[in-house]
Amino acid sequence: MIRRLDEREKDKALDLWQETFVEDGPSLVAYYFNTHIHMNQVAGYMEGDNLIAMAHLNPYQLMWQGCLYNVSYVVGVATKQSHRRQGLMRKMMTWLLRERYDAGDVFSVLMPIDSRLYNQFGFGFIQDVALYKFHYQNLNRIIRTVPNEEISVETSIQLLPIYNNYKKTLTLSQNRGMRDFEHLLKEVHSEKGRVVIVPDGYVIYYDFEDIFVRECIYTSDEGLMNILDYMGSIAGEKSIQWQMPKNNPLKHLIPHMKEHERIEKPFMMARILHVELLFEAMADLLGTCTIKVIDDQILENNHIYRIDGQVSITHEAPDITVDIESLAQWLFGYDTLESLATIRPKVMIHQYHMLYPKYPIHNYFTALI
């Protein structure tokens, strides 16, 4: 039986989390279960009173192409060691897709450990990140003192205008308010991380064996330089690991050297749940076209859609045929239709006259746990 959990079952979810995600420190897990998550956001596969598998559906508000969406971020997907390889997660994911479709969600997002589990359910990557590893002293920059202030939960309101200014440059972003920043500070502090403001920006980082930069938000080129020089001032002899969206200016500032690394990796996946609702929101961007959608999981999405300022279901010959995973990757700007058509047998361009996307698409969403 699959159902939402209740608060009385928190210990069961906590035990399964600790069995599965052994790399999470006790303070982070305590913060998450005591402060961040409510049990009615957890779907559980039950055998009698025993929790065998689970998936957490953390609610977020995401801005995409100027529209605000309530989105479930899937995290904490876990099965007890004794019950793995029995198809339980397939049943869980099928249940989750149906539940969220019936609830009217337009799309869902997740950050996978193994993408193979989610490809089969129509999730596709929509965002890559670049991970840099370098030593500041190799950048040939003049060492300078940068004004800075460490931020606490009580002063986290100072981050809001910086973030709101930065997200104007993004196509996909989290719609953060004060409560989101308070949760962010609590999570970061639970892992002994720091949040520091400099002129025109802020940085979230952890001082481990290396310095790890988790989030870097800036409102000007000078703001990025201020963050870079501040990180250099606290790194000393340590190397800096810095995670950024793939298309970012940091790559121009770090020389290619044997000691330096730059790794691009897929980061965030999305699954379109309600095709018609998304097309309605994007009708002005897509112009006039007919699109045939193939969805093996949510059969209600299997139609030919005519888009001409509004959306209707038609029996006309489609301009494009596309499977649900490829549809997400195209609409979120991760890949072009032409490229997808060369590798995906279900993507066919019958008559191509679409102008979308008209400009570079920048997706940047980093969730809490």
What is the reported pLDDT for 366? 80
Please spell the DSSP secondary structure of 58-72, one letter per residue: EEEEEEETTEEEEEE
* Amino acid in position 15: D
Cβ contacts of 360 within 8 Å, gap of 6 or more: 247, 333
The packing angle between helices 159-166 and 178-190, to 10°, is 110
Cβ contacts of 11 within 8 Å, gap of 6 or more: none
Token pair of 368, please?
């809490």
Mean pLDDT of the residues in the chain = 94
What is the reported pLDDT for 344? 95
What is the reported pLDDT for 367? 66
Cβ proximity of 83 and 97 under 8 Å? no
CB neighbour burial string for 296-325, b if at least 16 within 10 angstroms, e if fewer: ebbeebebbbbbeeebeeeeeebbbbbbbb
Cβ proximity of 76 and 55 under 8 Å? yes
Domains and CATH numbers, the chain: 2-122 (3.40.630.30), 130-267 (3.40.630.30), 274-349 (3.30.1050.10)
What is the reported pLDDT for 360? 79
This prediction's pTM: 0.92
Question: What is the pLDDT tens value at each position of the chain, 369 positions in all?
Answer: 999 999 999 999 999 999 999 999 999 999 999 988 899 999 999 999 999 999 999 999 999 999 999 999 999 999 999 999 999 999 999 999 999 999 999 999 999 999 999 999 999 999 999 999 999 999 988 888 999 999 999 999 999 999 999 999 999 999 999 999 999 999 999 999 999 999 999 999 999 999 999 999 999 999 999 999 999 999 999 999 999 998 889 989 999 999 999 999 999 999 999 999 999 999 999 999 999 999 999 999 999 999 999 999 999 999 999 999 999 999 999 999 999 999 999 999 998 777 788 777 889 888 655
* Amino acid in position 179: R
Pairing of strands 320-323, 288-294: parallel
d(Cα 305, Cα 313) in Å, to the nearest integer? 5
